[in-house]
Amino acid sequence: MRTARQGDARKSRLGVESGIGRRNGQNHPQLALVPLKKLLSLEPSNLDARGIFAGALMGVNRFDEAAEQYRKLTAEDATDVKA
């Protein structure tokens, strides 16, 4: 898990390797929202999860909520070029 002061993420912890938000080889961001929100409630400083959550929100046209997540992400790590 990458946090504001830690190194690389553990992708399996985020469910990336298990296919979170994917079905039949295609992206379905709506499937990722609930598990990512739960993960963030347990690990609010998990920057990788927050970035993926923001992207999933964008994918379902929830732009205001995505913007809030990106603001939180940049507040934690202003050097993150993805944010």
Distance CA 36, CA 79 (A): 23
pLDDT at 4: 53
Tell me what pLDDT residue 55 has.
Answer: 93
Residues 79, 30: Cα–Cα separation, whole Å: 28
Go through the domains of the chain in sequence order and give each one's CATH number.
12-76 (1.25.40)
Which pLDDT does position 10 carry in this prediction? 46
Is the separation of the CB atoms in 53 and 40 below 8 Å?
yes
Tell me, what's the pLDDT at 7?
A: 42
Contact 37, 54 (CB under 8 A): no
Residue-level pLDDT, tens digit, the chain, 83 residues: 555 544 444 444 454 444 556 555 567 889 999 999 999 999 999 999 999 999 999 999 999 999 999 999 989 877 766 65
